[in-house]
Amino acid sequence: MPTKLVILDRDGVINFDSAQFIKNPAEWKPIPGSLEAIARLTQSGYKVVVATNQSGVGRGLFDMETLNLIHSKMHKAVVEQGGRIDAIFYCPHAADSKCECRKPKPGMFKRISETFNIDLNGIPAIGDSLRDLQACAAAGCQPMLVMTGKGEKTRADGELPAGTQEFKDLSAAIDAILKETTP
């Protein structure tokens, strides 16, 4: 049986995005239905992992302590809905860095594969930007685009990786994943 794992981008997928970055816990606001969708995954036996670029750290807009507080708020909000986020992988580097972890490079996905000791081939990965989809496709994941966050612009711009599935929001994407795996 395939590993039950789903990889999610954070900003624009789980919570509302901001062109000015999410710089503190007060700015982190969940998209309606996203926390409940994560809870449905958890309750169906899935591990949920977040893979997020957080260049605001590298740009000096917020520090690691603040990023941890934002993620703590997200963890608590998911738990309150009966769900769980098993791990958060993030790239703290600025956009101009030469790191391997910043999406669209697949470095974070490789770390997820190594940490959980699983092949990511076909594992659903949900994002709202082209770089999310490019990173997951490069790692062999199933790219899933949501129309929240930058999703509609991403779809309009085109050039999506082959086989990208499109959904209204995280809840709809999760419904499709659960429908596929329910006998």
The predicted-structure confidence for 64-73, as pLDDT tens digits, reads as follows: 999 999 999 9
Active site (annotated) includes residue 11 = yes
- Structural domains counted in the chain: 1
pLDDT on residue 95: 85
167 or 97: whose pLDDT is higher?
167
Q: Where are the beta strands (DSSP E) in 14-153?
A: 47-53, 87-91, 124-127, 142-146
Q: The CATH number of the domain where 26 resides is what?
A: 3.40.50.1000
The boundaries of the domain holding residue 143 are 5-181
Residue 59 has pLDDT above 50, yes or no: yes
**Secondary structure letter of residue 160 according to DSSP:** P
Structure confidence at residue 183 as a pLDDT band (50, 70, 90)? low
Structure confidence at residue 11 as a pLDDT band (50, 70, 90)? very high
d(CA 20, CA 161): 27
Catalytic residue among 9, 128, 132, 169: 9
